[in-house]
């Protein structure tokens, strides 16, 4: 299994907002344990999906110059659940970005139904920082690794996003 | 200009949002770490929110100085030295260094980080 908790970006406006879709499938092993007979997408993995959506939004605006680390989830509220067959849309808005990191607000919806909303804070690690020099960039999902899913992304007006060109 | 009470009100909102505490826990004397449960990453979050809520810029290390205890001239045998206390006075004019100087154990440094210290800092910042 790969640590991808979004399948594709469907909108991407650099430095402002991004929408990604996560299709929940009964083929996902963990859904058979969460819970036996009642498969629901775990809230923790929805937070990860929201963080991947927002983290890439933040990383992209700095051309992935920094390693973006999920630092804190100051707020997260779950209103409903998502089950196999649902397409969860994570809608992230960048509310703050600076040298040290940034903050996003993200909602998760299935159709018109609000599943969850969260505020997520990230910090930047500088790849040139000797203290972190040994970190393998490939281990971090908020980086170039996930650019592949941006390539099929579309900007809000339906044209290809600039990153994906 | 905002009064001290107005500043405290906004600082309280900031800490409620950043630390998930109740507003009645945020008293002037409350310490961020021991009383309000702040962890290292929260200090950065608090700075982000204060900048936004007060529309000010807080250069890194100005409100919460960094690396004080790693300098051997400032700390010896688990105590902050005279030079260290002088450095704290210079870097943290918004904190109650006099009380700290009575028992300058390194672990007491975090007790300098109180709600009152933040209010003092913001008050001075807005007056500048």
- Residue ranges of domains in chain A: 8-148
Show the domains of chain B with their CATH numbers.
Answer: 1-62+114-128 (1.10.1200.10), 65-112 (no CATH)
Pairing of strands A113-126, A66-78: antiparallel
- Partner-chain contact A98 B45, CB within 8 Å: no
Cα gap A51→A55, rounded to integer Å: 5
- Partner-chain contact A100 B44, CB within 8 Å: yes
B124 to chain A, minimum CA–CA distance in Å? 23
**pLDDT reported for residue A152:** 46
pLDDT bin (cut points 50, 70, 90) of residue B2 is: confident
pLDDT digits (tens), chain A, 165 positions: 678 899 999 999 999 999 999 999 999 999 999 999 999 999 999 999 999 999 999 998 988 888 899 999 999 999 999 999 999 999 999 999 988 899 999 999 999 999 999 999 999 987 666 655 555 544 455 555 555 566 544 455 555 555 443
Query: Which of A69, A70, A98 should be substituted to probe chain B, the one whose Cβ sees the most B Cβ atoms within 10 Å?
Result: A98
Helix, strand, coil: what percent of chain A each, to 5?
20, 40, 40
Whether the complex's predicted ipTM is more than 0.90 is answered with: no
- Catalytic: which of A30, A32, A34, A66? A34
Cα gap A157→A140, rounded to integer Å: 30
Helices assigned H by DSSP within chain A = 43-61, 147-150
Class of domain A8-148 as given by CATH:
alpha beta
**pLDDT reported for residue A138:** 47
Across-strand partners of A122?
A70, A102
**pLDDT reported for residue A148:** 59
Query: Which of B44, B49, B64, B70 should be substituted to probe chain A, the one whose Cβ sees the most A Cβ atoms within 10 Å?
Result: B44
**pLDDT reported for residue A134:** 54
Closest listed residue to residue A16, CA positions, set A160, A165, A155, A159: A155
Look-up: residue for tokens 């993200």?
A106
DSSP state of A164: T
DSSP state of A93: E
């Amino acid at each position: 299994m790969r640590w991808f908790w979004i399948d594709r970006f469907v909108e991407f406006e650099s430095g402002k907002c991004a929408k990604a879709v996560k299709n929940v499938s009964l083929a996902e092993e963990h859904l058979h344990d969460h819970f036996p007979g009642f498969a629901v997408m775990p809230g923790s993995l929805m937070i990860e999906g929201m963080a991947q959506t927002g983290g890439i939004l933040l990383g992209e605006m700095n051309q992935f110059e920094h390693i973006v680390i999920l630092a804190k989830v100051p707020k997260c509220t779950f209103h409903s659940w998502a089950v196999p067959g649902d397409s969860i849309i994570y809608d992230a808005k960048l509310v703050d970005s600076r040298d040290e990191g940034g903050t996003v607000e993200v909602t998760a919806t299935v159709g018109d139904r609000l599943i969850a909303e969260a505020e997520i804070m990230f910090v930047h690690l500088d790849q040139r920082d000797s203290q972190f020099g040994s970190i393998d960039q490939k281990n971090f999902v908020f980086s170039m690794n996930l650019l592949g899913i941006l390539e099929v992304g579309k900007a809000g007006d339906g044209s290809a996003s600039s990153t994906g060109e | 200009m905002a009064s001290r009470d107005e500043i405290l009100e906004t600082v309280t909102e900031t800490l409620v949002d950043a630390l998930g505490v109740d507003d009645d826990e945020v008293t002037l004397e409350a310490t961020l770490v021991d009383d309000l449960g702040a962890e290292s990453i929260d200090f950065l979050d608090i700075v982000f929110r204060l900048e936004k809520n007060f529309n000010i810029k807080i250069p890194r290390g100005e409100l919460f100085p960094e690396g004080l205890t790693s300098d051997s001239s400032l700390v010896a045998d688990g105590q902050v030295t005279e030079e260290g206390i002088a450095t704290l006075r210079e870097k943290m004019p918004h904190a109650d260094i006099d009380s700290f100087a009575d028992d300058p154990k390194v672990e007491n440094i975090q007790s300098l980080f109180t709600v009152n210290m933040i209010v003092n800092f913001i008050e001075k910042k807005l007056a500048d």
